[in-house]
C-alpha cells in the first residue's frame, strides 16, 4: 500500500511541475534558424511566403487559440513566442514566429517529452492555413 501512495505522490508532483514550471523567455524566445520546412519527433519548422504583414496576421490567429498566451516578444519587434497548453495536463508547447522580410519563419516545439504525436505540426499548419 505504501508503494501505491509513493506512486500517486510522484505522479501528482510531476503533473504539478509540468503545469507550474516557469518558462524562461531567454531559452525559448530565440530567432528560429530555418532553411527549409521540416518535422521532428516533437517539433515543426515552416517557412511561409506571407508578405511583410505575415507576423501581424499570424499573431491574430495565434492569440485567438484557446490556452495560448504570449511568452515574449511582439509584432512590433518582429518576433513573438507563444505558449499553448494542452487541455487536460497543461503541457506547454512553444511556437516562435519571426518575420524575415516577406518570409515568416515558424518554429513549434514541445517542452516536455521526446514525441508530440504531431500536435505541434497540426497546430502550426492550422495557424498558417488561417492566414
The answer to whether the beta carbons of residues 106 and 128 sit under 8 Å apart is yes
Backbone angles phi, psi at 32, to 5 degrees: -70, 130
Which pLDDT tens digit goes with each residue over 81-99? 999 999 888 899 999 999 9
Which of 69, 76, 58, 63 is CA-nearest to residue 28? 69
Whether this model's pTM surpasses 0.75 = yes
CATH architecture of 25-129: 2-Layer Sandwich (3.30)
Angle between helices 54-63 and 119-129 (to 10 degrees): 120
Where do the domains of the chain lie? 25-129
Please tell me the predicted confidence (pLDDT) of residue 81.
98
Please tell me the predicted confidence (pLDDT) of residue 44.
97
Please tell me the predicted confidence (pLDDT) of residue 15.
76
Which pLDDT tens digit goes with each residue over 50-79? 999 999 999 999 999 999 999 999 999 999
Kindly report each contact of residues 63-72 with a partner whose C-beta sits within 8 Å and lies 24 or more positions away, as own/partner: 65/123, 65/127, 71/23, 71/25, 71/28, 71/29, 72/25, 72/28, 72/29
**In whole angstroms, what is the distance from residue 80 CA to residue 72 CA?**
6
Residue predicted with more confidence, 16 or 108: 108
DSSP 117: T
Amino acid at each position: 500500500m505504501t508503494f501505491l501512495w509513493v506512486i500517486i505522490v510522484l505522479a501528482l508532483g510531476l503533473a504539478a511541475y509540468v503545469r507550474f514550471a516557469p518558462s524562461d523567455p531567454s531559452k525559448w524566445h530565440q530567432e528560429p534558424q530555418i532553411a527549409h520546412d521540416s518535422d521532428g519527433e516533437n517539433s515543426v519548422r515552416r517557412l511561409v511566403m506571407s508578405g511583410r504583414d505575415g507576423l501581424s496576421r499570424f499573431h491574430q490567429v495565434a492569440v485567438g487559440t484557446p490556452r495560448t498566451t504570449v511568452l515574449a516578444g511582439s509584432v512590433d519587434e518582429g518576433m513573438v513566442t507563444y505558449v499553448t497548453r494542452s487541455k487536460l495536463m497543461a503541457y506547454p508547447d512553444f511556437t516562435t514566429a519571426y518575420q524575415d522580410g516577406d518570409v515568416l519563419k515558424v518554429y513549434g516545439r514541445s517542452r516536455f517529452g521526446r514525441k508530440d504525436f504531431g500536435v505541434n505540426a497540426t497546430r502550426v499548419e492550422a495557424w498558417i492555413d488561417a492566414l
